[in-house]
Amino acid sequence: MLVRDVMTPNPVTVRLSDSLLTAKTRMEETHCRRLPVVDEQGRLCGIITDRDLRLATHSPLVLRERWEDELLLTRTEVDGCMTPDPITISADAPLEQAIDLLLAHTISGLPVLEGDRLVGILTVTDLLRALRGLLQATSG
């Protein structure tokens, strides 16, 4: 099996200059926990996760009012909280290679590239769906 067989194609993205609120809203609307970050030319330059958003707004060391968190979400750009240069994988890579990367780096998602073009994202959820399909195919 190849990454392309299991990945989520055409993932929702955010741009470097989008606000954290935009990223949070897109994650909520699409029920996902990570978004690839692209530049103005659409090239992948980072990834932002729901954990990044929580860390930005819910520091246990700083007491803030709710309006301050909302202000932070609207005025802080994605590039201030994202992970730059994320680990990626090719759409034609074997699924085993993707699993090895996820395990080795203790991450739960990989942007999928064809050359320098973002074509998908592979998540642990995608892998679990594929496993369920394989188990159903072998048991029925």
Q: Where are the domains of the chain?
A: 3-139
Q: Angle 66-75/50-57 helices, nearest 10 degrees? A: 130
The reply to whether the predicted model has a pTM over 0.85 is yes
> Digits of tens for pLDDT over the chain (140 positions)?
999 999 999 999 999 999 999 999 999 999 999 999 999 888 999 999 999 998 887 765 555 666 676 777 888 899 999 999 999 999 999 999 999 999 999 999 999 999 989 999 999 999 999 999 999 999 86
Alpha carbon 138 to its chain centroid, in Å, reads: 31
Q: Cβ of 56: how many Cβ atoms within 10 Å?
A: 18
Pick the CATH number of 3-139 from 3.10.580.10, 3.90.1570.10, 3.40.50.1100, 3.90.1150.170: 3.10.580.10
Measured distance CA(137)–CA(82) in Å, rounded: 39
- pLDDT score for 59: 60
- pLDDT score for 63: 55
What DSSP string describes 74-128?
A: HHSBGGGTSEES---EETTSBHHHHHHHHHHHT-SEEEEEETTEEEEEEEHHHHH
What's the Rg (C-alpha) of the chain? 17
Measured distance CA(44)–CA(113) in Å, rounded: 9
